[in-house]
Amino acid sequence: MIQDKIQITDGVFLVGKNDDRDVPFHRLMLTKGTTYNSYLVQADRLAVIDTVDISFGREYVQALGEHIVLESIDYIVINHVEPDHSGGLPALAAKAKNARIVCTEYARYELQRMYNLYTREFLIVKDGDSLDLGGKTLRFFETPWLHTEETMVTYLEENRVLFPCDIFSTHLANKTTFEDSAGYDITEDFQVYYQLIMHPHRRHVRDMLAKIADLDIQIIAPSHGFVLREDPRRFIDMYEKASRETPEPQKAAILYASMTGNTRKIARGLADGLEKDGIQVDIFDMNKADDESIIAAVQESNLVLVGTATKYADAIGRTEEVVGKLANLDLSGITAGAFGSYGWSGEGIEHLHDFLAATNMTLLESSTIIKTTGVTDVQFPLRMRFLPEDEADRIIDRTANFLAGILLDRKEDAA
Ligand SMILES: Cc1cc2nc3c(=O)[nH]c(=O)nc-3n(C[C@H](O)[C@H](O)[C@H](O)COP(=O)(O)O)c2cc1C
Ligand SMILES: [Fe+2]
Ligand SMILES: [Fe+2]
């Protein structure tokens, strides 16, 4: 059953679904269940903030229709497109004919494709934009990668409520709405959720915290689990503290071979990106550096990236020779990846990938990355046709940021 309309504060209501099954999620089983919290904000105009899981979409819309006239909804705010929150959107949008969907640009891209909403009117919001509901004002802050690229949070100024969707959530089928009536200390449940869903994106948690730092937040109304009202600052502080913990220093070695400088530029860009995240990087031109220095740096590293240009369908220079030497060493526990610039077919990068596979380093591969993280915009081997002027920098920086993320997390797990 969809729960009744529960008042959170003046003009703000929760209509959600308590899902007390063992919920399969990201290859985990949420044995305590979860809730999908959708909110209504009622002023001169009416807004719905997030919906429920796709399995309960119709049930949700039916229940909502008993509380309000669906045609009177002016806005449906979608903070995050994952179907555990946007799943009710197609059913809701079909009935709420006058509602505009409010989300980030990238969320629109995904929602249109997920639910075939091409003819629907969207209101695209950017960081800091506000929306006047007549008596109440919503303000939006983009919070990319918490935990997917399109995410944002919504702040209701007059009532000082933050609607952060997945952020500040708890996975459990709580029977009471507010944490202050839970009857136990929810800290552990709250932290388990943080570790699982948010901590891998800790750099973005820091960015989010900076954005909401000046907001007066009286209530945090997330989309899973408890509504936090007794001392919301305590929960924000927990994110602050956990995301600040710095793991042990991590090192990377980047080796490259380049004819005209493109592969060198990728190597340098990766080094810059890793250094931004506090990774210490040693970079070597394989045709100039001696083997002893290269091997010493590799053995001290947590990550080894090797790049080559392609010439006559092969890797260039000393690439094969150097990586061949690495195959004779015990480099277990080190992560390795291939990259390179090519002109039309890029065989050299693929050969290099095979050479790395012959070492006992753990090889970065697109398929593994998707299966373990859900990330699809980081490719390994990293292949770049010449150096795509418009997007090379973005791809390189994103790749480096992703790699830094896995390095920093892995270390903490080991600790
Ligand atoms: C002599 C020569 C042979 C090349 N052969 C290939 C090739 O077989 N396949 C390919 O994809 N690109 C080939 N290329 C294109 C280069 O891989 C491409 O220009 C690349 O950006 C060079 O990277 P670099 O600047 O790091 O040297 C060739 C380039 C040259 C100059
Ligand atoms: Fe999510
Ligand atoms: Fe979620």
**Ligand 1 and 310: CB distance under 6 A:** yes
Pocket test for ligand 1, best of 342, 382, 384, 396 (most atoms within 8 A of CB): 342
pLDDT of residue 246: 67
pLDDT one-digit tens code per residue, 291-338: 999 999 999 999 999 999 999 999 999 999 999 999 999 999 999 999
pLDDT one-digit tens code per residue, 4-52: 899 999 999 999 999 988 887 776 788 889 999 999 999 999 999 999 9
Phi, psi of 117 (to 5 degrees): -100, 40
3-class DSSP state for residue 394? helix
**Ligand 1 and 104: CB distance under 6 A:** no
Which residue, by CA, sits nearest to atom 20 of ligand 1? Answer: 342
**Second-level CATH architecture of 6-244:** 4-Layer Sandwich (3.60)
Q: Where are the domains of the chain?
A: 6-244, 251-414
Model pTM? 0.76
pLDDT one-digit tens code per residue, 232-245: 999 999 999 999 87
Give the DSSP H or E segment for 40.
strand 34-42
Local confidence band at 134 (pLDDT 50, 70, 90 cut-offs): very high
Of 384, 367, 390, 365, nearest to 270 (Cα)? Answer: 384
Atom of ligand 1 nearest to the CA of 344: 11
Contact criterion met (CB below 8 Å) for 40 and 15: yes
User: Which numbered ligand comes closest to the C-alpha of 148?
Assistant: 2
Q: Which residues pair with 256 in a beta bridge?
A: 285, 307
pLDDT of residue 247: 67
pLDDT of residue 21: 85
pLDDT of residue 415: 35
Pocket test for ligand 1, best of 254, 259, 350 (most atoms within 8 A of CB): 259
pLDDT of residue 256: 98
Best CATH choice for the domain 251-414 from the list 3.40.50.1000, 3.40.50.300, 3.90.45.10, 3.40.50.360 = 3.40.50.360
